A and B are shown apart, each in its own frame.
Chain A
Amino acid sequence: MFDLLTSAIINVLQWKYLLPLFMGTLVGVVGGSLPGVTITMTVIVILPFTYGLDPLAGLAAMTGVYVGGSTGGLITCCLLGIPGSPSSIATTFDGFPMARNGQPGRAIWLGVWASVWGGLLGALCLVLVTGPLAAIALEFGPWEYFSLFVLAMAMVAGLTEASLVKGLLSTAIGLLITVIGTDPIASVPRFTFGSEFIGGGFPFLPVLIGIFAFAQIMTDIEKLPQAPETGSVRAQARFEKFSHLKVNWEIFRQPFLLLWATVVGLIIGILPAIGGSASSVMAYDQAKKFSKTPERFGKGHHEGIIASEASNNANVSGSLMTIMAFGIPGDAVTAVMLGAMTIHGIQSGPLFISQQPQLSYGIYAAYILAHPLMLAICWVFMPIMIRVTSVRLAVLAPIVMVLCVLGAYALNNTMQSVYVLLIFGVVGYAMVKVGMPLAPLILGLILGDQIELNLIRAIMTDSDPWLFFTRPISGGLLLAAGLSVVLAIWQHLRHQKRALEEDTDF
Chain B
Amino acid sequence: MRLGRDGIAGLVCLAVSLALLPHAFGLPRLPIVPIGPGFYPAIVLTFMALTSAVLVLQDLLAQRRLPPPPEAATAEPNQPAPAPTRAYGLVAASFLTIAVYIVLLPLLGFRISTVLFVFVFQIVLERPGSALTLLRQAVVGLGAAAVTYLVFNEYLAVLLPRGSWTGW
**Chain A residues with a Cβ under 8 A of chain B:** 37, 41, 45, 163, 165-166, 168-169, 172-173, 175-176, 179, 183, 185-186, 188, 190-191, 217-218, 221-226, 392-395, 397-399, 401-403, 405-406, 409-410, 413, 415, 418-419, 421-422, 425-426, 429, 433-436, 451-452, 455-456, 459-460, 463
Contact B86 A222 (CB under 8 A): yes
Which residues of B have CB within 8 Å of A183? 27, 37
B86 to chain A, nearest CB (A): 4
Number of inter-chain CB pairs below 8 Å: 172
Beyond A188-B27, A405-B102, A434-B5, whether A395 also contacts B161 by CB under 8 A is: no
Which residues of B have CB within 8 Å of A418? 102, 105
Which residues of B have CB within 8 Å of A169? 10, 13, 48, 51-52, 55
The prevalent SS among residues of B at the interface is helix
Cross-interface CB contact of B48 among A172, A398, A399, A425, cutoff 8 Å:
A172
Contact B148 A223 (CB under 8 A): no
Q: How far is the CA of A113 from the CA of B90 in the complex (A)?
A: 39
Cross-interface CB contact of B125 among A173, A179, A191, A397, cutoff 8 Å:
A397
A298 to chain B, nearest CB (A): 19
Within 8 A of A (CB), among B123-143: 125-126, 140-141
* Chain B interfacial residues counted at CB < 8 A: 64
Contact B37 A186 (CB under 8 A): yes
Contact A172 B51 (CB under 8 A): yes
Which residues of B have CB within 8 Å of A394? 122, 125-126
> Smallest CB-CB separation from B56: which chain A residue?
A165
Chain B positions 97 through 116: 1 when the CB is less than 8 Å from some CB of chain A, otherwise 0: 01101100110000000100
Contact B121 A397 (CB under 8 A): yes
Contact A222 B87 (CB under 8 A): yes
Q: How far is the CA of A221 from the CA of B54 in the complex (A)?
A: 33
Q: Other CB < 8 Å A-B pairs besides A165-B54, A398-B125, 11 of them? A: A168-B47, A172-B51, A395-B122, A397-B94, A398-B140, A399-B144, A410-B152, A415-B161, A434-B6, A435-B5, A460-B33
Contact B55 A409 (CB under 8 A): no
Is there a chain A Cβ closer than 8 Å to B61's Cβ?
no
Contact A409 B88 (CB under 8 A): no
Contact B55 A191 (CB under 8 A): no
The 6 closest A-B pairs by CB, nearest first: A183-B37, A394-B126, A172-B48, A398-B121, A394-B125, A434-B9
Which residues of B have CB within 8 Å of A397? 94, 121, 125
5 A-B pairs with CB atoms under 8 Å apart are: A168-B47, A188-B37, A190-B37, A402-B114, A434-B8
Contact B40 A179 (CB under 8 A): yes
Contact A409 B91 (CB under 8 A): no
Tell me which of A172, A222, A422, A426 has the highest count of chain B C-beta atoms within 10 A of its own C-beta: A172
